């Protein structure tokens, strides 16, 4: 039986949702993040390196626990997107989108007609290998209702076309990439530059005003309440390598501190 998307329900109800980026190709890492309660485990195929088989196995581990498996990719080709979706993903996070046309291409790959142009297949993992237990019409409608599309606005042309991107009703979340936006406007590595910050802040304000949802990074648990208070309903918690490195560095600093004191004694 196809399971209704808990993520879509939360988004419709105005709840705050969490997201982590996954670069490890081991499904156990994805399971750990899902068991920890994160709403979205975003399989990072922009900066990570996943094969189609690894995407399918990782999505299986995530969705079996009722969480959303979203693939991060720079590809907007609807045929490639459709292939990814047949791996059993909950949705797509398309980055570096150039304009509303590119976003429509993503919609065409994720959604079946009449919403999009995704090719129909009934024996894929996404269709429970033909055992989805629905009529054809109900299955296609279910997919269109339960799949999630996120896009990342991080170039000049996307900022220029932001109104048209936001107007696409089948885009669930519009995100801004402040580091790449800063670079796009000539402020490499400096998202805090006044021009870069204003461009990002103005885009975020418009997105929240028009759609009610935008994503922001919280570097630690203490930062989460402030991010929510600023109007963000999707919280980026970082990636699993961040969690490992931060924990080890914090513990190692205490050990080094003890050893330094021991040497001075």
Domains of the chain in sequence order: 6-264 (3.20.20.60)
Please check whether residue 35 is in contact with residue 13, taking contact to mean a CB–CB distance below 8 angstroms.
no
Residue carrying structure tokens 């606005």: 153
pLDDT digits 0-9 by tens, 217-231: 999 999 999 999 999
Name residue 71's beta-bridge partners.
Answer: 43, 92
Reference 41, options 144, 50, 139; nearest CA is 50
What percentage of the chain exceeds 70 in pLDDT?
100
pLDDT recorded at residue 58 = 98
What percentage of the chain exceeds 90 in pLDDT?
94
């Amino acid at each position: 039986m196809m399971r209704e998307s808990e993520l879509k329900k939360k988004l419709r109800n105005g709840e705050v949702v969490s997201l982590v980026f996954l670069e490890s190709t081991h499904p156990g890492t994805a399971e750990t993040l899902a068991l920890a309660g994160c709403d979205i485990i975003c399989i990072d195929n922009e900066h990570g390196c996943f094969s189609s088989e690894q995407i399918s196995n990782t999505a299986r581990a995530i969705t079996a626990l009722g969480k959303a498996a979203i693939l991060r990719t720079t590809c907007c080709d609807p045929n490639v997107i459709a292939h990814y979706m047949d791996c059993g993903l909950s949705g797509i996070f398309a980055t570096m989108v150039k304009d509303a046309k590119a976003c429509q291409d993503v919609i065409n790959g994720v959604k079946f007609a009449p919403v999009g142009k995704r090719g129909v297949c009934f024996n894929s993992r996404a269709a429970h290998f033909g055992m989805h237990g629905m009529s054809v019409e109900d299955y296609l409608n279910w997919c269109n209702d339960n799949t999630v599309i996120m896009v990342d606005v991080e170039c000049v042309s996307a900022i220029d076309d932001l109104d048209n991107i936001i107007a696409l009703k089948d885009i669930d979340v519009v995100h801004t990439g402040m580091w790449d936006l800063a670079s796009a406007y000539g402020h490499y590595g400096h998202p805090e530059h006044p021009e870069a910050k204003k461009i990002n802040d103005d885009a975020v304000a418009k997105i929240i005003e028009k759609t009610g949802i935008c994503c922001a990074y919280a570097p630690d648990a203490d930062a989460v309440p402030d991010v929510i208070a600023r109007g963000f309903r999707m919280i980026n918690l970082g990636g699993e390598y961040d969690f490992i490195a931060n924990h080890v560095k914090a513990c190692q600093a205490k050990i080094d501190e003890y050893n330094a004191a021991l040497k001075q004694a």
